């Protein structure tokens, strides 16, 4: 049994990761601010799945509160940390950039400091496929340059990768960054497009389809993501003995620092995904076709060979299965009769 700190346990991925750790016998220390970026009732319902477990301890505050964070480390002495809390959303970063600076930059800096001073064995943290930004070479590989983000959200995630490297280099803190690709499934985030589509379809309202539906996304089912996160936590980052400063590998270092894509490795046409939602809801969607939005990208496609080699990560949930499971949960949770 290990003591593992998980941030963002009221969130989609953090909640599922915490459940998996508890199931295998770990003690989980959870932190979440439970902010109102999306419906708080859903976040509370997720936390209720953890609250009765004897191995779970919950703390509610924002990571920008350094004294509160340090007190949690002092009291519980976690050996490993999985950092999944963040201000999410590309479009929202156009409206409230201040929240991204506070949560994603200040909060992450506080977490790095706490890990450094409390001798944490391994920090795994959430990066994002959005760091690839204006890069159009497909599939996205960790060796690709990521110097042209197209949203502030992406810029904060790229910054997290750089901040983690400095702590790995200066203080020998093992850190692993995971670049998530469009995670979906039961208990998902209501701010994400697929969730909004489902809600509008059942309510008889039109759905807004950006870029006239010409998007592709590497939709990745939550169970596959959880497997990769937990496996990464169990494999602390190590230095790359072959790292060459004349030809630097962007995804590794002489320090114990690693970056990996974590996705499905199978881009799906957005219109096909919408069709699956319509099929399982038994209703057709009225579609409003709109142009590309600022900060958005046309296609995401993850090369996951590196994570597969490191921790045997192999996503195996077909999109048809994943969407069916999401709709089953969605209709049950919101008490919806299918058409």
One-character DSSP codes across 276-303 = HHHHHHT-PPPEEE--PPTT--SB--B-
Nearest to 336 by CA among 183, 206, 195, 223: 195
Whether residue 44 is predicted with pLDDT greater than 90 in this model: the reply is yes
Q: Which CATH number characterizes residue 204's domain?
A: 3.40.50.720
Lowest mean pLDDT among 56-70, 154-168, 175-189, 286-300: 286-300
pLDDT band, very low/low/confident/very high, at 94 (cuts 50, 70, 90): confident
Task: Establish if 263 belongs to a structural domain.
Answer: yes
At residue 63, does pLDDT exceed 80?
yes
Domain count, the chain: 1
Q: Are 116 and 76 in contact (CB under 8 A)?
A: no
- Domain contains 175: yes
Q: Is residue 141 part of a domain?
A: yes
Domain-embedded: residue 8: yes
> Stretch 313-338: mean pLDDT, rounded?
96
pLDDT over threshold 70, residue 295: no
pLDDT greater than 80 at residue 296: no
- Domain membership of residue 273 (yes or no) is yes
Residue 338 lies in a domain: no
Query: Domain range holding 76?
Result: 3-333
- The residues annotated with a catalytic role in the active site are 153
Q: Which two tokens stand for residue 1?
A: 């049994």
**Across all residues in the chain, what is the average pLDDT?**
95
Residue 170 has pLDDT above 90, yes or no: yes
Per-residue pLDDT of 97-127, as tens digits, reads: 999 999 999 999 999 999 999 999 999 999 9
Is residue 339 a part of any domain in this protein? no
Report how far residue 181's alpha carbon sits from residue 139's, in angstroms, rounded to the nearest whole number: 12
In a domain, 205, yes or no: yes
pLDDT of 213 over the 90 cut: no
**How much is the pLDDT for 306?**
98
Q: In this structure, are residues 226 and 84 in contact, taking their beta carbons and an 8 Å threshold?
A: no
């Amino acid at each position: 049994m290990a003591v593992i700190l998980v941030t963002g346990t009221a969130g989609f991925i953090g909640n599922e990761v915490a459940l998996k750790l508890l199931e295998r016998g770990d003690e989980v220390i959870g932190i979440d601010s439970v902010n109102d970026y999306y419906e708080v009732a859903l976040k509370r319902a997720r936390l209720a799945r953890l609250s009765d477990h004897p191995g779970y301890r919950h703390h509610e505050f924002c990571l920008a509160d350094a004294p509160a964070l340090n007190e949690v480390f002092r009291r519980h002495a976690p050996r490993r940390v999985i950092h999944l809390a963040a201000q999410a959303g590309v479009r929202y970063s156009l409206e409230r950039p201040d929240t991204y600076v506070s949560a994603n930059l200040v909060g992450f800096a506080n977490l790095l400091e706490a890990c450094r001073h409390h001798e944490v064995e391994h920090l795994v943290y959430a990066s994002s496929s959005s760091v690839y930004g204006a890069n159009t070479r497909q599939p996205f590989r960790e060796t690709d340059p990521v110097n042209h983000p197209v949203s502030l959200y992406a810029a904060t995630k790229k910054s997290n990768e750089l901040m983690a490297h400095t702590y790995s280099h200066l203080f020998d803190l093992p850190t692993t960054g995971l670049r998530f690709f469009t995670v979906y499934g039961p208990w998902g985030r209501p701010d994400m497009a697929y969730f909004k589509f489902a809600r509008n379809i059942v309510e008889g309202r039109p759905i807004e389809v950006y870029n006239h539906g010409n998007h592709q996304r590497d939709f990745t089912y939550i169970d596959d993501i959880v497997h990769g996160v937990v496996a990464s936590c169990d494999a602390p980052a190590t230095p790359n003995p072959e790292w060459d400063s004349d030809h630097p590998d962007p995804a590794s270092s002489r320090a114990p620092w690693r970056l990996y894509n974590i996705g499905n490795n199978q881009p799906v046409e957005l219109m096909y995904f919408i069709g699956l939602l319509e099929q399982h809801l038994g209703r057709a969607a009225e579609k409003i076709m709109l142009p590309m939005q600022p900060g958005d990208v046309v296609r995401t496609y993850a090369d996951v060979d590196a994570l597969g080699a490191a921790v045997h990560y192999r996503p195996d949930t077909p999109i048809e299965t994943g969407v069916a499971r999401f709709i089953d949960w969605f209709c049950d949770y919101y008490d919806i009769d299918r058409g």
